[in-house]
Structure 1
């Protein structure tokens, strides 16, 4: 079972990654190609966080796995939106 602290830290990491990616998504709409480095970095942060969720799922109980699954879907949705955006 994953510890409460490790789950809390990962959930905070997820929220930070989502917030950063959403900010870069919005900025890219305003600045177009001038924000390419941060946009790419945001996609990488989402991918890294997704990987961390997958690792944590191996140690999680069923309730924690459900929470991780919901976060994983949220990350995937944002990542897909960013990839499909005509950046």
Structure 2
């Protein structure tokens, strides 16, 4: 299995992703686990796979799922694909 060069120290509260629901690129950290974006390479840890490997997402998706930096309640958040 390929190893991602992103840091795994920011994994959010141990959320475990089902590898059956992710593509091979998402499992190896080459694509965002939420929106499938490949570039720029996702660098925010969203959780882990059952084997302990981290699952990464892009900055926008990390904020949407609560793994990114906190967003003020009065701030609009948009997701586009």
Q: TM-score, normalised by structure 1?
A: 0.24
Q: Between Structure 1 and Structure 2, whose CA radius of gyration is higher?
A: 1
Q: Which has the higher strand share?
A: 2
Q: Which has the higher helix share?
A: 1
